[in-house]
Structure 1
Amino acid sequence: MRSLEAELATAHELDVSELADAVETVGFECTRCGACCTADDDEPHTATVFPDEIRELQATDDYDWRDVARPMPYGLTEGADGPEGETFEWALQTDDCGDCTFYEETDGVGACTVHEDRPLICRTYPFSVALGGTSQPMGEAVEREGMVRAHECEGLGRDIAREDAVEMARALKERAIRELEEAIAVRDSYDPVDAEGGVVVHDSEGAKRPDGTSL
C-alpha cells in the first residue's frame, strides 16, 4: 500500500488537461434532481466538508458552526444521551428530513442556497480521483476513465462543454490534494481523547467539540 505522502505527490502531478479529457469522455450535465443533496433510503445526507470550508460558509450568513456542519456519524455509537465517540471528519449539516441544510426544491427543481461557496465535494460530484486516501462520494464508482471515477448520477453521459470539463478537472485536482493533506494532518496530530459520553471530531486542526471549538 502506498503512503499518503506518495499519493499526495501523485495528486500534485495530476494533469488537469488529462482529467478534463476523462470528464469530457464520460460526460455530465447537472439535471438539478437533488439526489446528491438529499437523504438516501432513510440515511441522512453525508458530504465531507473541510474546517476552512465550514468557516467560509459561516461567513455567508453569520451561521454558527453547527448550522453548517455536524460530526461525521461514521465511527460514532448511540449512547444514553445521544451519539458518542471519536470521528475524523465533518459532514454538511442536515435538516429534519436528512437533506443537506442548504438544499431547497421548488416544483421538483433543486437548488443550492450557497452554490457559489459550496464545498469541493459538491463542486466535483459525481466525479472523484482514484487515489488512495481520497473519498468515493455516495458509493462505488459506476464508470471509470483513467484516474477519474464517475459515481451514480442521472446527469452522467450528457454532453459537457470543454471549459466546464476543465473547471471540473481543476476542482478534482484541488480536492484530491486537500483530502490527502487533511488525512496526513489528522494522522500526524491524532491523540486519543476521552469523549466523556460525548463526541470528539479530529480534523487537521486538532480535536474539536461538535460546536467546532477546540479541546
Structure 2
Amino acid sequence: MQSLEAELETARSLAVSELADAIESIGFECTRCGACCKADDDDPHTATIFPDEIRDIQQTHEYDWRDVARPMPYGLDDGAGETFEWAIQTTGCGDCSFYVEKDGVGACSIHDDRPLICQTYPFSVALGGTSQPMGEAVDQAGMVRAHECEGLGRDISREEAEALAAALKERAIRELEEAIGVRDNYTGTTPDDGDIVVHDSEGAKQGDGTPVDR
C-alpha cells in the first residue's frame, strides 16, 4: 500500500482530461431525485465536509458551526467519545439539513456553496486515502469510480464532464491533504464523560468546532 504522501502526488498528477474521458464513458445527469441527500433506510445521510468548507458556509449563510456540521458518528457511543472528521449536518429524519424538496423535485439550499463531495457525487477517484461515498462502486473507468445513482449512464456534455473532473481532482487532493493533516496533528485526547472530541487536520475540536484546551 502506498503512503498517503505518494497517493497525494498521484492525485496532483491526475489529468483532468482523462478523468473527463472516464466520466463521459460512464455517463451522468442529475435527475434531482434527492437520493444522495436523504437518509438511507435507518442510516442518516453521512458525507464528509472539510473544516474550511464549514467556515465558508457559516460566513456566507450566517450559520453556526453546528448548523453546518456534526461530528462524524463512526466510533461514537451515544454521541460521545473520540472521532475523526466532520459530516454534513442532518435533520431529525436523517436527511441533509440543506436538502429541500418541492413536488418531488430535490434541490440544495446552499447549491453554489455545497461541499466538494456533493459537487462530485456520484463519482470518486480510485486512490487509497480518498472516500467512497454511499458505499462501494458500481462502475469504474480508469481512475474514476461511480457509485449508486439513477443518473448514471445518461449523456453528459464535454464541458460538464471537464468541470466535474476538475472538481473531482480537487476533492481527491483535498481528501489526502486532510488525511495527512489528521495523522500529523493527532494527539490522543480522552474526552470527559458525555463529551466529544473531533480530530481533523487542524487538531482536536469540541463538537461545536472550537479547539480543545490542552
Regarding TM over 0.5, the answer is yes
The alpha carbon displacement at 1:91 in A equals 0.3
The alpha carbon displacement at 1:70 in A equals 0.2
Residue in structure 2 matched with residue 178 of structure 1 by the alignment: 174
- Partner of 2:35: helix, strand, or coil? coil
1:11-22 equivalent positions in 2, closer than 5 A: 11-22=11-22
1:44-193 equivalent positions in 2, closer than 5 A: 44-78=44-78, 83-193=79-189
The alpha carbon displacement at 1:209 in A equals 0.3
Overall identity of the aligned pairs, in %: 74
Distance (Å, rounded) in 2 between the aligned partners of 1:205 and 1:171: 23
Distance (Å, rounded) in 2 between the aligned partners of 1:3 and 1:206: 21
Q: Counterpart of 1:156 in structure 2: which amino acid? A: L
Q: Counterpart of 1:151 in structure 2: which amino acid? A: H
Residue in structure 2 matched with residue 42 of structure 1 by the alignment: 42
Distance (Å, rounded) in 2 between the aligned partners of 1:171 and 1:61: 22
Residue in structure 2 matched with residue 6 of structure 1 by the alignment: 6
Distance (Å, rounded) in 2 between the aligned partners of 1:199 and 1:31: 38
- Partner of 1:36: helix, strand, or coil? helix
2:188 aligned with 1:200: no
- Partner of 1:111: helix, strand, or coil? strand
Residue in structure 1 matched with residue 33 of structure 2 by the alignment: 33
Residue in structure 1 matched with residue 208 of structure 2 by the alignment: 211
Where structure 1 has 5 or more consecutive residues not aligned to the other structure, the ranges are none
The alpha carbon displacement at 1:161 in A equals 0.5
Q: Counterpart of 1:48 in structure 2: which amino acid? A: T
Distance (Å, rounded) in 1 between the aligned partners of 2:77 and 2:92: 20
Where structure 2 has 5 or more consecutive residues not aligned to the other structure, the ranges are none
Higher mean C-alpha displacement, 193-202 vs 165-174: 193-202
Deviations 1:75-97 (A, max 9, x none): 1112xxxx111111100000111
The alpha carbon displacement at 1:60 in A equals 2.1
Q: Counterpart of 2:150 in structure 1: which amino acid? A: E
Deviations 1:43-72 (A, max 9, x none): 110010000000011112210000000001
Deviations 1:92-145 (A, max 9, x none): 000111000000000000000000000000000000000000000000000000
Q: Counterpart of 1:206 in structure 2: which amino acid? A: G
Q: Counterpart of 2:125 in structure 1: which amino acid? A: V
Distance (Å, rounded) in 2 between the aligned partners of 1:115 and 1:188: 32
Deviations 1:3-60 (A, max 9, x none): 0000000000000000000000000000000000000011110010000000011112
Distance (Å, rounded) in 1 between the aligned partners of 2:103 and 2:209: 35
With structure 1 as the length reference, what TM-score do the two structures score?
0.97
- Partner of 1:91: helix, strand, or coil? strand
